[in-house]
Structure 1
Amino acid sequence: MVKEELEKIARSLVQVPQDFRKVIENYEEDEAYFSWMEEEKGIIGVKLDTEGRLTYLTIDMQKEDQNTAPSLSVEEKQAIAERYLLQHYPDALQHFTYHHVKELKECNAARFYFEQLVMGIPLSAAGSYIDVNNSGEVILFNYKGVKAVPPIPKQLILKENLTEHVLDQLYFELVADQMHAEIHNVEEDSLRLVYLPNLVPMKYRAADMNPESAIEQDEKIREVTRPLPSLDLNVQTERPVEEIIGITDTMEKLREVDWGEEIGIVWRERGWNFTNEDLSFESYLKERTEQTVKAFISKETGRVRSFMWFQKRTGSLQLGHEACFEKALHFLQLVIPELLPYVQYIIPQNEEEVRENETKEFFMFRLYNDHGIPVHSEVINIAVNKETGQIDHYSGPRITVQQLKELPHEPVLSPEQAFEKFKEHLDFQLAWEKDYVEEEEVYELVYKACDRYTKTAIRAIDAVTGEVICNKE
């Protein structure tokens, strides 16, 4: 189908406001993608196959007026999702079965999954899911297609053998970790003292009778850290955000976006010219990213939480590892002075992990509380430019000193009790997964370790309450 016809079909599937401009018109061998955007209002995207059939749609609009009408019921939204699926693929329900729904609080919508089932188990990368908002609008459609039915194994390994194999290797690390209500089965976000299992993920080929040939079950490499050297804590830290990041007078702010707890800001040199006239993905990314500096600023503290220079900066310096390390420490004094007593340097395990290149040195740091317990979720990353001595990348912590101080000092549960909790909840669930090692599309049946009650992966054991914390899905 010719390009003009594909765009005409795409426009017929969505209502594109007049003030939206087309930002992407990308043609591949087997698909075409179109996107329209207005910076302050939202973005619309449509993907078609070469026959003009819809495979993906997203409508992300910033609505100023909140709809006060009562929202539709889940059943009503499901009916809308099914009609939309059948509108584009009339025989879809001959291959797919409605499987489950997920509530999407962040966009006031529900996501309905229509799966291709084999042995009653969904095939990954098959089927379709559809988001319907409270007003009954389809705001996302993703059609992954019908796949060839994989061969069904004649016999499966016993779960008891898998349980024994896991428990023989299992141990726990006592850490502080951030639990998120959107990800885990917890009521609210909180920093907790938990036991983390060493075996993640735990996955086995279901038809393989030897549990020793587990999939992706490498043990975590134990991290080695060392305290920071003595630092001058009297460094002046009250500096403008732009000065800390390195923004110069020749640069201008391109956009500022509210991300909830943080503000995202993008800068670029004044007078930068975008010379590429096509609307490909590559051109879009160039227009949005090339020669920019992107940063996230905490609303609560007004401090820089992270930034990245996409503009190459050059200089005449030739700083070595130790000089770059001093630059990184000095920068930490500027951005997180109150957290410095809790920061330790992560020592690279081998030369490859240093990740040296011609122009940058990379450093990683971890937070610990007063009692030497590491904060698993908080790794600080800094990249120092060896030619300029400037910081080209920084990703900092989200937690505060107060949270560290409020963290329990010692566990209530012993590691042995955590082991028993894990053992009590451990189960295995069958799943079809694509084997991405093979060039052709091949599926294999696997057993995934999970919680016997939620059927989702066990994330951690709360070291104070004994609660088994699982992923939501």
Structure 2
Amino acid sequence: MSIDELRVIALQIGHVDDEYEAEIEDYNQDAGVAVFAWKKKESEELGIWIELANDGSLLNLSRDVWSTKKGFSNFSEEQLKKRALEFVNHHYPYAENQFTLEKWNQLEEGTYRLSYVSMALELPLPFSGFFLTIAKSGEITEFRYYGEAINIQYPEMLVEKEVIKEKFLTELNMDLQITEISSELYVDGDSQLHLVYEPSLPFYSYPADGHRDEYSDDEEDERSESLECIFRPKENQEQLNDLIGFDEQSFEKIREVDLGNVTGSVWRTKAGSSELQDDLTIDGFFHRRNDYTLKLMHDNESGNLHSMYSFLNRKGNLLLDYLECKELALQMLFHLYPLANQIFRLVVAKEGNEEGSNHFHYEFRVFHKEIPIRVGAAMISVNRTTGKIDHYMSPGLDPELLVSVNTQPAITEVETKEIYQRAFTIKLEWTQEYLENHESHYTLTYVPSFPLLEGEIAFIEAQTGQKILKKI
């Protein structure tokens, strides 16, 4: 089919009306996929995304639930499930019989998820079949069709479960650290900082036939690195906007979105706006969103800079070395955290920074009384040719809150291992793996399992011994 014919089909599937305007129309004939996207004229953050195969079959649909005009209705759960299957059968008449029901459940945001998959050895094969979500209004908000699973590699033998379980637990470590127990991510989370032990297993999965490459890709490639204390720069006269190269008079704000804890804003240079081209391809979409822009995020409570990224492609005549750029990175860090030397340590890779790059990248990890903060690091990239900060990412926490954390654990690492091991077992699961030529295949593996718990153990609280579980 031509892109014009596919566009007509996409408009009908998406029920696209005059409230929307086209944002992407792209047809990759080699891949046999056409992509269409529309944004709502009143709010470009709301929209519709549709992918079609070259014969017009629906592959992917995403529609913001907030864009529906219908609102909430009195559809029963059984009626919603029936409407969901009617939608699937309209596009793929044999799918309900071709695949096996995996899940029908209510999601937190008030929508329902339906998924069907291919099965092998009575186990589901990931990324097969289809899934969709349906709002209480009866509107399909998401649909993805994968089709039949292919390249299934059946093991010639199965190693006994207890043998592989022992391999998992032999090198189990419990790492002491501080982390936020988010209510969104963890069962009974309170969104407060806690001293915890995090289980660290030697691998994420193990082939069911016992044949595992010693240098398997799923093993972490640990860098050789050291930590270095930092000191306040001798000269710290530049203001924050000077360091990041932001002069509000030379920019215009083109987008702003309140994301709850932070507000993101996108600023484009006034000179750059005239350079943009009206191109509806996917590449054109990203150029319109990013070219000549500076993207900023500020914390809604404190107003502090949370992150920034430059798409300005800035090039100057300087050629600053590692130490000169490090001084600029430290100026940025101390601007935002006046007591940075008390909580941050600079990560120094033994192989060093790449001199050939136009940027030097610095990672400052957060510690409290020598205990690391999980996922607590400030990332700063300095442009060697301009002396400006082109990228900054905050550690995502208020260092002042660390003062209230008790850093003396009430239980030992040995005790936490025992708590973890009592709940731990393994189960068989199909995993999809990719080869160098990008072809995928399915392998039967053993993976961690916690059948008597509501979810997987993420941490063990170091004061109480409570098991902190990931939400399923």
TM-score by length of 2: 0.90
- Tell me, yes or no, if structure 1 residue 330 matches structure 2 residue 331: yes
Select between 412-421 and 188-197 the one with higher mean Cα deviation.
188-197
Q: Which amino acid aligns with 1:246?
A: G
In 1, distance between residues paired with 2:153 and 2:321? Answer: 57
CA contact (8 A) 1:223 1:346 kept: yes
Please name the residue that 2:198 is paired with.
Answer: 196
Q: Secondary structure at the match of 2:162?
A: helix
Amino acid in structure 2 at the alignment position of 1:386: R
Shift of residue 117 of structure 1? 1.7
Cα deviations by residue, 1:309-362 (Å, 9 ceiling, x for unpaired): 0102222222111111111111111122255421111121423xx344432110
Give me the whole-angstrom Cα distance separating, in 1, the residues matched to 2:148 and 2:370: 52
Q: Which string of whole-angstrom CA distances, capped at 9 and with x for unpartnered residues, describes residues 85-124 of structure 1?
A: 112111112222221245443x432222212122222112
In the alignment, structure 1 residue 406 sits paired with structure 2 residue 404: yes
- Alignment-mate amino acid for residue 217 of structure 1: E
Pair 1:245–1:263, CA change in 2 (3 A) = farther
Q: Aligned residue pairs: how many?
A: 465
Give the Å deviation of 1:457. 4.2
Can you list the C-alpha shifts for 1:65-100, whole angstroms capped at 9, x where unaligned?
A: 994655x44443322222211121111122222212
Conserved? CA contact 1:40–1:62, under 8 Å? no
Q: Which residue is equivalent to 2:317?
A: 316
**CA drift at 1:126:** 0.7
**What residue identity is the alignment partner of 2:404?**
E
Quote the Cα distance in structure 1 between the aligned partners of 2:313 and 2:207.
Answer: 46
Cα contact 1:429–1:455 (8 A) shared by 2:
no
CA contact (8 A) 2:153 2:444 kept: no
What CA distance in whole angstroms lies between the structure 1 residues aligned with 2:242 and 2:139?
45
Runs of 5+ consecutive residues of structure 2 not aligned to the other structure: none
Q: Tell me if 1:78 matches 2:76.
A: no
- Partners of 1:415 and 1:166 in 2: CA distance: 17
Which region of structure 1 is more displaced relative to structure 2, 451-460 or 278-287? Answer: 451-460
- Between 432-441 and 211-220, the greater mean CA deviation after superposition: 211-220
Report whether the alignment pairs 1:36 with 2:10: no
Q: CA RMSD in A?
A: 2.7
Other-structure match for 2:469? 470
Distance 1:443 1:395, change over 3 A: same
Question: Paired residue for 1:53, among 49, 57, 61?
Answer: 57
Q: Are the aligned partners of 2:231 and 2:341 in contact in 1 as well (CA < 8 Å)?
A: no
Counterpart Cα distance in 2 of 1:77 and 1:252:
45
2:231: which partner in 1? 229
Matched, 1:301 2:321: no
Partner of 1:443: 442
- 1:37-436 residue pairs with structure 2 within 5 A? 37-38=39-40, 40-41=42-43, 42-60=46-64, 62=66, 67=71, 69=73, 72-105=75-108, 107-148=109-150, 150-199=152-201, 201-208=203-210, 216-218=218-220, 224-230=226-232, 242=241, 245-248=244-247, 249-271=249-271, 272-351=273-352, 354-369=353-368, 371-436=369-434
Are the aligned partners of 1:104 and 1:110 in contact in 2 as well (CA < 8 Å)? yes
- Conserved in 1, the CA contact under 8 Å of 2:382 and 2:390? yes
Q: What is the percentage of aligned positions where both structures have the same residue?
A: 27
Matching residue's letter, 1:288: R
**Is the CA contact 2:381–2:392 (under 8 Å) kept in the aligned structure 1?**
yes
List gaps (5 residues or longer) in structure 1: none
2:199–2:459 contact (8 Å) kept in structure 1:
yes
CA contact (8 A) 2:23 2:39 kept: yes
Question: Per the alignment, do residues 73 and 422 of structure 1 end up closer, same or farther by CA in structure 2, a change over 3 Å counting?
Answer: farther
| Distance in 2 separating the partners of 1:22 and 1:279 | 8
State how 1:7-18 maps to structure 2 within 5 Å.
7-18=7-18
| Range moving further from structure 2, 323-332 or 171-180 | 171-180
Please identify, of 109-118 and 434-443, the stretch whose mean Cα deviation from structure 2 is larger.
434-443
In structure 1, what is the Cα distance between the partners aligned to 2:402 and 2:288?
Answer: 41
Report the Cα distance in structure 1 between the residues aligned to 2:165 and 2:470, rounded to whole angstroms: 20
**1:378 and 1:75, CA in 2 relative to 1: closer, same or farther beyond 3 A?**
farther
- 1:212 is displaced (CA, Å) by 6.4
Aligned residue for 2:418, secondary structure, equals: helix
Q: Distance in 1 between matches of 2:155 and 2:454?
A: 22
* Mapped contact 2:264–2:296 kept (Cα < 8 A): yes
1:184 Cα offset (Å): 2.8
Change (3 A) 1:349 1:169: farther
* Residues 251, 444 of structure 1: alpha-carbon distance in 2 compared, 3 angstrom cutoff: same
CA contact (8 A) 2:229 2:341 kept: no
Letter in 1 for 2:119: L
Which stretch shifts more, 378-387 or 37-46? 37-46
List per-residue Cα deviations over 1:386-410 (Å, max 9, x = no partner): 1221111000122113421121221
Q: Supply the distance in 2 between the matched residues of 1:303 and 1:65 (Cα, whole angstroms).
A: 37
**Higher mean displacement: 312-321 or 211-220:** 211-220
Q: How many angstroms apart in 1 are the aligned matches of 2:68 and 2:8?
A: 29
Structure 1 CA distance for aligned equivalents of residues 145 and 378 of structure 2 = 38
For residues 125 and 410 of structure 1, what CA distance do their matches in structure 2 show? Answer: 44
Q: Which moved more, 1:41-50 or 1:164-173?
A: 164-173
Output the CA distance in 1 between the equivalents of 2:230 and 2:216: 39
